[in-house]
Structure 1
């Protein structure tokens, strides 16, 4: 075997090892590569309490309750389910009922979520793409007929 053949063999073997490692990493992350879960997804997947996830959907009309010391509770809903969210802190200026929201935190029980952070819409036409796609699939899209959701 010449030096050139040994070098090409070594490069080929290293490429195969890297491809296999990348494949294993992507396979292991298959279930965790999600921008957020809707309330129906959480119930369908039977997510265990104590799991750290992102929850996304629409803020239910009339569900926002402000308590003392910046404690806020509200419900995030989709067409099939709703989950009560508890959050302590300042909400984004653009947070309001009936709008898209993505929260990150821990699932306390199948119907209660404790959020560490809350992300709200960007402008009057903005809705996270995943929320818009989910609403379109379920037939509840309320956007303009020809408008597509904007992303940041």
Structure 2
């Protein structure tokens, strides 16, 4: 009888340790990913409900024509639009080769005092590619044009 209760007690301990390990590993994975998950927003969404200055997110749209201004050093200012709203962007760094006005882009950064401060800028990498989120945002505003084949 004592042997059976000892086996049962050992089994309960193993299950309890496994459950605790599962909870701890899930918490660690969630903590590690909290900075890695960046939500996408279109310029219209940013203007409707501006995110807080500590929230890192991705913004995408077209680089608005006539807004690209290169400043001192590597600082660049431009505006990104989805046809419904426009968000000013400031970026310090080297822009991708394909970055230009009226082209698709996606930036990662924070919205601080009415300006999107980008830490990373990506440009579309050929004539037919544009990120799905950018295409969806442009279609929603009615300004997306299908690329010519």
Q: What's 1:113 paired with?
A: 116
Q: What's 1:68 paired with?
A: 72
1:94 equivalent in alignment to 2:92 = no
- Post-superposition shift, 1:49? 2.5
- Post-superposition shift, 1:79? 2.1
In 1, are the aligned partners of 2:106 and 2:121 still within 8 Å (CA)?
A: yes
Q: What's 2:140 paired with?
A: 137
TM-score w.r.t. structure 1 length?
0.70
Q: What's 1:39 paired with?
A: 43
1:61 and 1:68 map into 2 onto residues whose CA distance is 21
Aligned pair in 2 of structure 1 residues 42, 108: CA closer, same or farther (>3 Å)?
A: same
Q: What's 1:82 paired with?
A: 86
| SS of structure 1 residue aligned to 2:95 | coil
| Gaps in structure 1 of 5+ consecutive residues | 4-12, 148-152
In 2, are the aligned partners of 1:36 and 1:102 still within 8 Å (CA)?
A: no
CA RMSD, Structure 1 to Structure 2 (Å)? 3.4
- 2:63 corresponds to which of 44, 59, 65: 59
Which is greater in Rg?
2
- Post-superposition shift, 1:144? 3.4
Q: How many residues in Structure 1 have an aligned counterpart in Structure 2?
A: 142
